[in-house]
Every structure is written in structure tokens, then in C-alpha cells.
A and B are shown apart, each in its own frame.
Chain A
Amino acid sequence: SSSSISTAGSGNRADLEREQQGRVELRERYLRSLFAMAGHTVHFTMYERVNVSASFDASDIDILNFQVSNLQTPLGVHREALLRCSDIISYTFEL
């Protein structure tokens, strides 16, 4: 019963379509936010009070890894890096 798909009864096509439409709107906006973030400096708040910043390049579609450049860490700079989304609490950028 935790799956959002299964909550829409098989007889209720309208409910399923509303849910699909909602998922499309939410996902499209999120993907657009990722494209908008490309090339911007992003500040990452990670677990254990670790704070870093980097230029965002791309994400995998499962939102598990962010590929970044010029990563500024407390211990130094890395020209290219991958961040695990499971290490990140939040990220912030300006438009």
C-alpha cells in the first residue's frame, strides 16, 4: 500500500491519470531546476556539518550522484568530483 501507483484502483482510470499528470508536472519542474543549476556555484550542506561548494555539471536521473567541478572542501580543492546524494542534506544556489 506504500506504492503510489497501487493506491489508484484499477477501476479508477481518472485517478491514475491525475496522479500521472501530477508526477509529470513535479518531475518536469525538478529536471528543469537541475538544468538551470548547471554552471552555477552550489553550496552543499552535508552530514557531519561538512560544508562544500562546487560548480554543478550534471546529475544521474535517479538523483543518486551529482557530478561537479572545482569542488572546494575544508581540506582543499578538487577539479572534478562526484558527490553522493546520500551524503547531502541540502544544496543552495542563486538565479
Chain B
Amino acid sequence: TTKRSVQPPAERPGERRMAEMKKLYGVGAAKIQAMETAMQLAFDRNCDEKQPKYWPVIPLKL
């Protein structure tokens, strides 16, 4: 049967991000994260569906 790992479970990215959010936003972290998630979901979904290209193609700055 499968060998049991003695390693501790890997830290999940979501937990790490929440810890950072807590440090920055304290008790307001969950509220800010909910708003950010809504915005990021809209961004990701639109990018998937519409495949927008960068304009201009070459950055104007740097």
C-alpha cells in the first residue's frame, strides 16, 4: 500500500496569502480579500474569454 509521508503538509498558497493579508489589513483582511477576489475573478474570466492583447504592443515606459 501507499507509503505514509512523514513530511508535514505543504503550506497552501491560499493560507500564505491570508497570513499576509492579516498582517496588512488586520481585522479587515477578509473584507478586502473578498473584494479583491471579485475583481480578480472578473479580470481572469474576461481575459480567458476575450483574449485581450496588450496595447501598445511595446511598453511606452521602461
Interface readout for A39-60 with B: 1 if CB under 8 Å, 0 if not?
0000000111010100001111
**8 Å CB contact of B46 from A21, A52, A58, A71:** A58
Structural contact, B36 and A31, CB atoms closer than 8 A: yes
Q: Name B33's closest neighbour in chain A (CB-CB).
A: A61
Q: A47 CA to B28 CA in the complex, in Å?
A: 35
A81–B54 contact, CB under 8 A?
A: yes
A interface: dominant SS? mixed
> How many B residues, CB 8 Å from partner?
28
Number of A-B contacts (CB under 8 A): 93
The docked-state distance in angstroms from the alpha carbon of A34 to that of B61 is 23
Let me know if B28 and A80 touch, CB within 8 A: no
B50 at the interface (CB under 8 A from A): yes
Q: How large is the interface on A (under 10, 10 to 19, 20 to 34, 35 or more residues)?
A: 35 or more
CB <8 Å contact, A87 and B61: yes
Return the contact of A59 from the options B39, B51, B61 (Cβ within 8 A).
B39
Contact: B32 with A27, CB < 8 Å? yes
C-alpha spacing A35/B31, complex, angstroms: 15
Give which listed residue, A5, A59, A81, contacts B52 with CB less than 8 A: A81
22 A–B contact pairs at CB < 8 A?
A20-B25, A21-B26, A23-B24, A24-B25, A24-B32, A31-B39, A35-B35, A50-B60, A52-B55, A58-B42, A61-B36, A61-B40, A67-B50, A69-B50, A78-B53, A80-B51, A81-B53, A82-B54, A83-B55, A84-B59, A86-B59, A86-B61
